[in-house]
Amino acid sequence: MNPRLDFIFTRRSVRKYQDKDVPTELLNDLLEAGMAAPSARATDPWHFIVITSRETLDKMVKALPNGKMLLTAPAAIVVCGDMHRALEGYESYMLQDVSAAVENILLAANSLGLGSCWLGIHPRPARMEGIRTLFKLPDHIVPVAGIALGWPETVPEARTRYREECVHRETWRK
C-alpha cells in the first residue's frame, strides 16, 4: 500500500463511538468536502440533513435496521438526491453524484480523525419511506445514504482489498 494513500487505506467502517460530540465546524468541513465531489455537468443534485439530536439519531435506527451504530454515534448525515436537479432527470446520474459526495465525506471524516459508517437507504423501499417520513422529505428528494459519524472507540487497521483477478488490462479476461 502506498503510504501517500493512507487516508484511503485507513478509512474503515466504524460502528462504535466515544461519547464525545462532533463540533459543528468539523461537520461543516465534511459538508464542504461532500459538495466538492464531481457531478454530471455540475448539477450538484445533493442535499444533506445533519443530525446531532440523540432523539432523532435513535429514531433513525427504526428506519435503518443495519444502523445500530447510530445508538452510540453523536452525529449523522443523511445524503439525499434532488430529482429536479439530476442531469436530464436520470436517477442513475443523481445516484452517482450523491455517492461521490458520500465517499468524499467518508474520506474527509477519516482525515479529520473521525470514524464513519455508510448506511444504505436507496433502493430499499421501507428504508427510504422510513427516512422520508422521519425527515418530512418532499417527493422529489430521494434519501440515498446515511453516514454515522463520531470519534472511533478504536482505530481499525489499514487495509486494501485489491484483487488482481478483478483487473482487466486492455480487454476483458477470464
Kindly indicate the confidence band of residue 155, based on its pLDDT and cuts at 50, 70 and 90: confident
Query: Per-residue pLDDT for 84 more than 90?
Result: yes
How many Cα atoms occupy the beta-carbon half-sphere of 167 within 13 Å?
5
The dihedral through the CA atoms of 10, 22, 57, 126 has a sign that is negative
Amino acid code (one letter) for 74: P
Angle at 135 between CA 85 and CA 79, to 5 degrees: 45
What is the set of domains in the chain, with CATH numbers?
3-166 (3.40.109.10)
Amino acid in the structure at residue 33: A
- The answer to pTM > 0.85 is yes
Q: What's the CA gap between 172 and 163, in Å, rounded?
A: 15
Percent of the chain with pLDDT over 90: 96
Q: What confidence score (pLDDT) does residue 156 get?
A: 83
Amino acid found at 90: Y
What does the pLDDT read at residue 33?
A: 98
User: For residue 74, what is the DSSP state?
Assistant: S
**What was the pLDDT predicted at 125?**
98
Q: Residue 24 has which C-alpha cell?
A: 459543528
Residue for grid cell 422510513 = 130
pLDDT of residue 37: 98
Three-state DSSP state, 94: helix
Neighbours of 7 (CB within 10 A): 12
